């Protein structure tokens, strides 16, 4: 029997990522990792891309990981877990080790996933390795000091898309990585947010039960890069969902399904306002960027509703 | 009983891989290595191996998957050439520092650019400081024998380092020769079963692989890597001795060909050594005191042994099939010059860069090299330290 998705039951489980790591106060990444690894009852082996999560949890000779864990490079979480999973399949098939139902999980930030690691991830998904790839998406290269990535939204300030007298932040929209994963015809892909932990954990369970490569894109608040107080982590991700900036949905064997629909779709300003990275957008001369952001959110939301067979 | 077959270097390598029967192979096809991957794919398709073959989307992912698979706890092999090796560069270093005993065949090919599919050694020479044991083979037989010995060297408890087994692209990779293939059981008995060291798949004993390693420990870990390489220097001859005992073919750090009594010693890697041997025979028949030394092990570089073998020579001529732009000479020359200086070898030394991008190297050219060396012996003067053979200048 799987552990019930109730806090009382889940809190009895042993931590797979322990305390004592050096991630920042208010960072969403360890919250997400603990929710994911707690959702999985089976033994787990983890691969990690270079990034905040990797550097902050494994400073030699210490480690915060209570499960087997491997890091090789920035762009290689998917290719490394491919090798690990292939070896497991090989040894089990040959009878050299017992099949203990190990689940394979790779964690990469948006840099390691949307950008430098997209080729390796595409390969892993196309080959159908039985592994879950999780993008903890904080929408910029936070580990190296807040540089823009393919996940950075239009208009956002980063250190490589700074707000200047001529250019007001990032000039282009982010790419839709979840849709790119879905296009690989994998058995399961989803978007999730740590503020809705039960939704995320359910998705993880579906993903690791699927026969093939799976992908979950989790919005991962970074108060250092998003510029807000450390106690606003879950509130800001909640607003991302309530504004439909980050819709919660899943695609199971080609079937699109909304897993949460806001009662009232809030305007994008509600998500932008608490974050210093968008502060300049509220200046008179930049307000057209907010309109563009709203138009993009609206268009993507309509597309999603249609794919999910939902009424507007 | 062993059998004799006409095989090219790629097929012989794939045959060695079939006999080794790795738990995982992750590889990406590239000219001139391609046939290794193709032939091995057929072995997989026909159920002749137990291997899980990961057909990755790039060489970078090939090496990353190999590291993951090796760390998981099993035997892993791959193969590449040229730009493929360059593309996996980052991971090649990580494989060594992770102490993953991966065996990789490299059909040597010139690195781009300009793009060129033919042989030189710029690919594996570029990786000479990556922390891999490097073996160079002259022909398909040596490609086969080195691939098998590489497994034993890599997986030795005191070594635990990845090994590259090189052979010349097209010349050896596609050149048919008579190859003695040993029995499957004899090969498997020689390599023995894979022994996993703290495998990642042991979920009851979780291990963290590839942590962040700062200045307080990094240097100790690098020092341990050096130690593995030092141990390889001891293990390589031990493995060769056992190989000779079982299969009768003799391997060392290098092969000496009519080097006894030679005053002029030519040093050259891989297939060109075959051509040079016939030149040595011709010149010897004319009464010239010439000989050949063909290095097999480039990493760990057997400095002392090489110095001892060349100690009494008047002139050492090195032929380099790659260059090190802006350096004193080609990589083989520089290594050997350093070894000779360090071990007080008095010989004059001279370098010849040849065969880049598959440029043909004829017996006549090798003969001019010996003539040059004879002039140096006579005058005691090296007029030109590095000469580019057969180039239009």
The continuous run of DSSP H or E covering B77 comes out as strand B76-80
Question: Is the minimum CB–CB distance between A84 and chain B shorter than 8 Å?
Answer: yes
Residue A108 has pLDDT above 90, yes or no: yes
- Return the percentage of chain A with pLDDT > 90, whole number: 99
Measured CA distances, A230 to A35, B130, B148 (Å): 19, 43, 57
ipTM of the complex: 0.98
Write the pLDDT tens digit of every residue in A222-243. 999 999 999 999 999 999 999 9
Q: Give the Cα separation of A82 and A72 in Å (integer).
A: 12
Q: Give the Cα separation of B108 and B92 in Å (integer).
A: 16
Distance (Å) from the C-alpha of residue B326 to the closest C-alpha of chain A?
A: 31
pLDDT band of A312, cuts 50, 70, 90: confident
E-strand spans in chain A?
A: 44-48, 69-71, 103-109, 132-137, 188-192, 214-219, 249-252, 255-258
**Nearest Cα residue to A84 out of B43, B196, B48:** B196
Select from A43, A70, A96 the Cβ nearest to the Cβ of B209: A70
pLDDT tens for the 393 residues of chain B, in order: 899 999 999 999 999 999 999 999 999 999 999 999 999 999 999 999 999 999 999 999 999 999 999 999 999 999 999 999 999 999 999 999 999 999 999 999 999 999 999 999 999 999 999 999 999 999 999 999 999 999 999 999 999 999 999 999 999 999 999 999 999 999 999 999 999 999 999 999 999 999 999 999 999 999 999 999 999 999 999 999 999 999 999 999 999 999 999 999 999 999 999 999 999 999 999 999 999 999 999 999 999 999 999 999 999 999 999 999 999 999 999 999 999 999 999 999 999 999 999 999 999 999 999 999 999 999 999 999 999 999 999
Question: Is the minimum CB–CB distance between A58 and chain B shorter than 8 Å?
Answer: yes
Predicted confidence at residue A136, as pLDDT, reads 98
Q: Give the Cα separation of B363 and A41 in Å (integer).
A: 69
Question: Is the minimum CB–CB distance between B66 and chain A shorter than 8 Å?
Answer: yes
Does the beta-carbon distance from B56 to A123 stay under 8 Å? yes
Does the beta-carbon distance from B72 to A59 stay under 8 Å? no
Count of residues in chain B? 393
Predicted confidence at residue B389, as pLDDT, reads 97
Which residues on chain A are in Cβ contact (under 8 Å) with B73?
Answer: 87, 91, 97
Which strands form B133-136's sheet, in the order they lie side by side? Answer: B52-55, B24-27, B76-80, B103-108, B163-168, B133-136, B297-299
Does the beta-carbon distance from A79 to B56 stay under 8 Å? yes
Q: Give the Cα separation of B177 and B320 in Å (integer).
A: 24
Predicted confidence at residue A216, as pLDDT, reads 99
Predicted confidence at residue A1, as pLDDT, reads 75
Distance (Å) from the C-alpha of residue A220 to the closest C-alpha of chain B?
A: 22
Predicted confidence at residue B283, as pLDDT, reads 98
Which residues on chain A are in Cβ contact (under 8 Å) with B24?
Answer: 83, 86-87, 90
Q: Kindly tell me the burial class for residue B148, based on how many C-beta atoms sit within 10 Å of its own C-beta (0-12, 13-18, 19 or more).
A: buried
Query: pTM of the full predicted structure?
Result: 0.98
Distance (Å) from the C-alpha of residue B215 to the closest C-alpha of chain A?
A: 10
Predicted confidence at residue B297, as pLDDT, reads 98
Q: Give the Cα separation of B65 and B378 in Å (integer).
A: 56
Predicted confidence at residue A128, as pLDDT, reads 98
Predicted confidence at residue A35, as pLDDT, reads 97
Count of residues in chain A? 312
C-alpha A64: how far from its chain's center?
20
Question: Is the minimum CB–CB distance between B198 and chain A shorter than 8 Å?
Answer: no
Measured CA distances, A26 to A107, B122, B144, B276 (Å): 19, 49, 57, 68
Question: Is the minimum CB–CB distance between B269 and chain A shorter than 8 Å?
Answer: no
Predicted confidence at residue A278, as pLDDT, reads 98
């Amino acid at each position: 029997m799987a552990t019930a998705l109730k806090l009382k039951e889940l809190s009895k489980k042993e931590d797979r990522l322990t305390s004592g790591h050096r991630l920042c106060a208010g960072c969403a990444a360890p919250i997400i990792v603990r929710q994911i690894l707690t959702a999985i009852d089976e033994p787990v082996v983890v691969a990690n891309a270079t990034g905040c999560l990797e550097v902050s949890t494994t400073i030699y000779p210490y480690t915060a990981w209570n499960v087997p864990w491997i890091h090789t490079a920035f762009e290689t979480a998917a290719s490394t877990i491919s090798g690990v999973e292939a070896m497991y399949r090989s040894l089990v098939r040959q009878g050299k080790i017992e099949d203990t139902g190990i689940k394979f999980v790779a964690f990469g930030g948006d840099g390691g996933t949307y950008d430098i690691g997209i080729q390796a991830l595409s390969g892993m998904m196309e080959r159908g390795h039985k592994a879950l790839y999780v993008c903890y998406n904080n929408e910029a290269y936070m580990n190296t000091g807040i540089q823009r990535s393919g996940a950075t939204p239009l208009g956002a300030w980063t250190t490589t898309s700074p707000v200047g007298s001529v250019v007001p932040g990032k000039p282009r929209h982010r790419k839709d990585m979840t849709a790119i994963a879905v296009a690989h015809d994998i058995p399961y892909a989803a978007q999730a947010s740590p503020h809705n932990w039960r939704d995320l954990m359910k998705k993880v369970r579906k993903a690791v039960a699927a026969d093939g490569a799976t992908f979950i894109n989790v919005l991962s608040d970074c108060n250092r890069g998003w510029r807000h107080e450390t106690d606003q982590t879950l509130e800001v991700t909640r607003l991302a969902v309530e504004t439909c900036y980050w819709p919660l949905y899943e695609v199971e064997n080609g079937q699109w399904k909304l897993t949460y629909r806001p009662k009232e779709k809030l305007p994008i300003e509600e998500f932008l306002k608490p974050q210093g990275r968008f502060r300049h957008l509220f200046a008179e001369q930049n307000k057209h960027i907010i309109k563009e952001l709203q138009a993009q959110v609206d268009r993507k939301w309509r597309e999603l509703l249609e794919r999910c067979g939902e009424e507007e | 009983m062993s059998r004799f077959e006409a095989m090219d270097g790629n097929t012989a390598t794939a045959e060695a891989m079939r006999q080794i029967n790795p738990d995982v192979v992750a590889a990406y096809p590239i000219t001139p290595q391609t046939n290794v991957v193709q032939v091995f794919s057929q072995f997989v398709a026909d159920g002749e191996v137990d291997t899980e073959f990961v057909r990755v989307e790039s060489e970078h992912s090939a090496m990353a998957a190999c590291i993951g698979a090796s760390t998981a706890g099993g035997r892993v092999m791959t193969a590449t050439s040229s730009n493929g090796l360059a593309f996996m560069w980052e991971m090649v270093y990580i494989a060594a520092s992770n102490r993953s005993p991966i065996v990789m065949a490299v059909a040597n090919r010139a690195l781009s650019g300009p793009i060129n599919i033919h042989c030189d050694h710029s690919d594996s020479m570029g990786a000479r400081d990556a922390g891999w044991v490097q073996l160079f083979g002259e022909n398909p037989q040596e490609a086969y024998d080195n691939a098998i010995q590489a497994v034993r060297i890599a997986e030795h408890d005191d070594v635990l380092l990845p090994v590259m087994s090189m052979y010349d692209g097209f010349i050896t990779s596609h050149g048919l020769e008579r190859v003695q293939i040993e029995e499957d059981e004899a090969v498997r008995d020689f390599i023995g079963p894979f022994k996993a060291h703290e495998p990642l798949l042991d979920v009851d004993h979780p291990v963290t692989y590839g942590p962040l390693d700062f200045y307080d420990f990094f240097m100790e870990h690098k020092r341990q890597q050096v130690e593995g390489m030092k141990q390889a220097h001891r293990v390589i001859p031990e493995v060769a001795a056992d190989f000779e005992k079982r299969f009768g073919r003799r391997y060392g750090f290098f092969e000496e060909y009519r080097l006894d009594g030679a005053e002029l010693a030519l040093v050259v890697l891989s297939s060109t050594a075959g051509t040079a041997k016939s030149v040595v025979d011709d010149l010897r028949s004319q009464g010239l005191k010439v000989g050949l030394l063909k290095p097999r092990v480039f990493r760990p570089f057997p400095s002392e042994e090489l110095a001892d073998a060349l100690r009494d020579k008047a002139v050492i001529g090195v032929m380099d099939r790659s260059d090190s732009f802006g350096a004193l000479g080609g990589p083989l020359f520089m290594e050997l010059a350093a070894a000779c200086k360090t071990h007080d070898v008095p010989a004059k030394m001279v370098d010849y860069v040849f065969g880049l991008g598959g440029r043909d190297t004829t017996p006549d050219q090798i003969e001019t090299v010996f003539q040059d060396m004879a002039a140096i012996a006579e005058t005691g003067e090296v007029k030109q330290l590095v000469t580019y053979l057969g180039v239009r200048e």
